[in-house]
């Protein structure tokens, strides 16, 4: 998701990313998964 957005130029350097909680809610995933994905 994020890597695709970066590759397509939708996320540029300096773009603020959503919080783990907002990301989890947006994609309907567990908060722990959203937190883990940031470090992956």
- The pLDDT value given to residue 27: 87
In a domain, 36, yes or no: yes
Answer yes or no: is 31 within a domain: yes
Separation between Cα atoms, residue 31 and residue 22, nearest integer Å: 9
Number of folded domains in the chain? Answer: 1
Contact at 8 Å (CB) between 31 and 21?
yes
Query: Looking at the domain assignment, is residue 8 inside a domain?
Result: no
In a domain, 37, yes or no: yes
Signed CA dihedral, 13, 19, 30, 37: sign only: positive
Q: State the Cα–Cα distance between residues 15 and 1, nearest whole angstrom.
A: 15
Within a domain: residue 3? no
Q: For the segment 1-40, what is each residue's pLDDT rounded down to a tens digit?
A: 778 888 999 888 999 988 889 989 988 999 999 888 766 5
* Owning domain of residue 25: 16-40
């996320």: which residue's tokens? 11
Whether residue 11 lies inside any domain: the answer is: no
């Amino acid at each position: 998701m994020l890597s695709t957005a970066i590759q397509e130029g939708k996320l540029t350097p300096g773009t603020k990313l959503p919080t783990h909680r907002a990301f989890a809610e947006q994609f309907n995933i567990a908060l722990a998964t959203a937190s883990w994905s940031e470090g992956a």
